[in-house]
Amino acid sequence: MVNESDAARARALVEAAGEAVVVLDSDRRLLAASRTAAAALGDATPGRRLGEDALAVEPRPLVLFLAALPQLSAYQELRAGFTAAVSHELRTPLARLLVLLESAALPGAHVEALVDQAREEIEQTRDLIDDVLFLGELETGREVVSLGRTRALPIVDEVRRSLAERAEHAEVRVAVVGGPEIELPLRPRMLRVVVENLVANAIRYAGPGSTCTITLSQEGPGPLLVVADDGVGVRRSELPRLFERFYRADQARSSRGTGLGLAIVKHVVTAAGGTVEAQSAPGHGLEIVCRFPPR
């Protein structure tokens, strides 16, 4: 719940805006609207709940979500913990890179193979930095998650094709189930980010001979995106931690992933008003269910 001082801050934020801008709280209730946005909406009464249909006006308003700010000490503690975790994660590929470079200087070293391994470590570090920066953009609101609705099937098919070579190398089959009518309340880029991270996670951990199935469906009033595999699965005790930054289940300790993929998925889905749930048991695969609100 956003308090009155936060609401006043929102009103001040949009007061001088010349473009169409609306500010909503976490429950999608209207906190403030610029004059242009108010004219387009017709009804800009504070407290009014605005769904995607209500925002489908011209000019299309930029939607900002405002949540109550945490206590400074708690924020500083969170930031310090995140910085420490990033530093720790960066040390590992950098240490491996240093060993490879030192090995390349030894007599009789297979330089070409060592250079290839060093290149992989550099790519791993780059991926980690990219994910850290992207997650930071999401958390600070610089990256808009939900702006209209996107037909999901073309994006899902595109992701499946882009990951086909990686899936073949890992001996994981990727299948898509769902009709072309399913729409999700995510921008195309955000939908691609979610699907890529979920499918890449299955390819990386499910194991050879597994099948990863991406399902788009409508359950009750809201749409669902489900990515499930029939691979090795994870222990039930580990499920609550799967969406934590840098957390890796036991079988993923040696993975070359950044450890941020599922954290990014959760942040994107919840920012769009949805929920994420993981279900698994050892030897029975992993299923991740993303539920989205109705139109």
**What CATH code is carried by the domain that includes residue 266?**
3.30.565.10
Are 54 and 79 within one domain? no
Are 101 and 193 within one domain? no
Are 12 and 76 within one domain? no
Bridge partners of 225, per DSSP, are: 216, 290
Are 156 and 280 within one domain? yes
Helix axis angle, 111-140 to 72-104, nearest 10°? 170
3-state secondary structure of 260: coil
Are 186 and 251 within one domain? yes
CB distance 255 to 207 below 8 Å: no
CB distance 263 to 198 below 8 Å: no
Are 133 and 249 within one domain? no
| Assigned domain for 194 exists | yes
Q: Where are the alpha helices (DSSP H) in 141-187?
A: 152-162, 164-170
Q: Which residue among 46, 65, 84 closes a domain?
A: 65
| Assigned domain for 173 exists | yes
Are 239 and 205 within one domain? yes
| Assigned domain for 46 exists | yes
CB distance 289 to 224 below 8 Å: yes
Number of domains making up the chain: 3
Q: How far from each other are the two terminal CA atoms of the chain, in whole angstroms?
A: 22
Enter the tokens of residue 16. Answer: 């001088």
Are 93 and 170 within one domain? no
Q: Give the model's pLDDT for residue 20.
A: 77
| Assigned domain for 28 exists | yes
Are 120 and 156 within one domain? no
Q: Give the model's pLDDT for residue 220.
A: 77
CATH of residue 117's domain is 1.10.287.130
Are 205 and 187 within one domain? yes
Q: Which residue among 47, 65, 83 closes a domain?
A: 65
| Assigned domain for 266 exists | yes
Tens of each residue's pLDDT in the chain, 295 residues: 555 555 565 566 565 556 777 887 777 888 888 888 888 888 888 888 888 778 878 877 777 766 544 444 544 544 554 555 555 556 666 777 777 778 887 888 888 887 887 777 777 677 666 666 666 666 655 555 666 788 999 999 999 999 999 999 999 999 999 888 999 988 888 888 899 889 999 998 899 999 999 999 987 788 999 999 999 888 888 887 888 766 655 444 445 555 677 888 888 888 888 899 998 877 789 999 999 988 7
Report CA Rg, the chain.
22
Instruction: Indicate the pairing of strand 21-24 with strand 62-65.
Output: parallel
Q: Give the model's pLDDT for residue 248.
A: 59
| Assigned domain for 55 exists | yes
Are 116 and 57 within one domain? no
Give the chain's length: 295
Are 60 and 173 within one domain? no
Contacts by 156-163, CB closer than 8 A, 24 or more apart = 156/195, 156/214, 156/216, 158/192, 159/192, 159/195, 159/196, 159/199, 160/199, 160/214, 162/196, 163/196, 163/199, 163/200, 163/203
| Assigned domain for 145 exists | no
| Assigned domain for 29 exists | yes
- Domain range enclosing 132: 72-140
Q: Which residue among 65, 82, 100 closes a domain?
A: 65
pTM of the model as a whole: 0.56
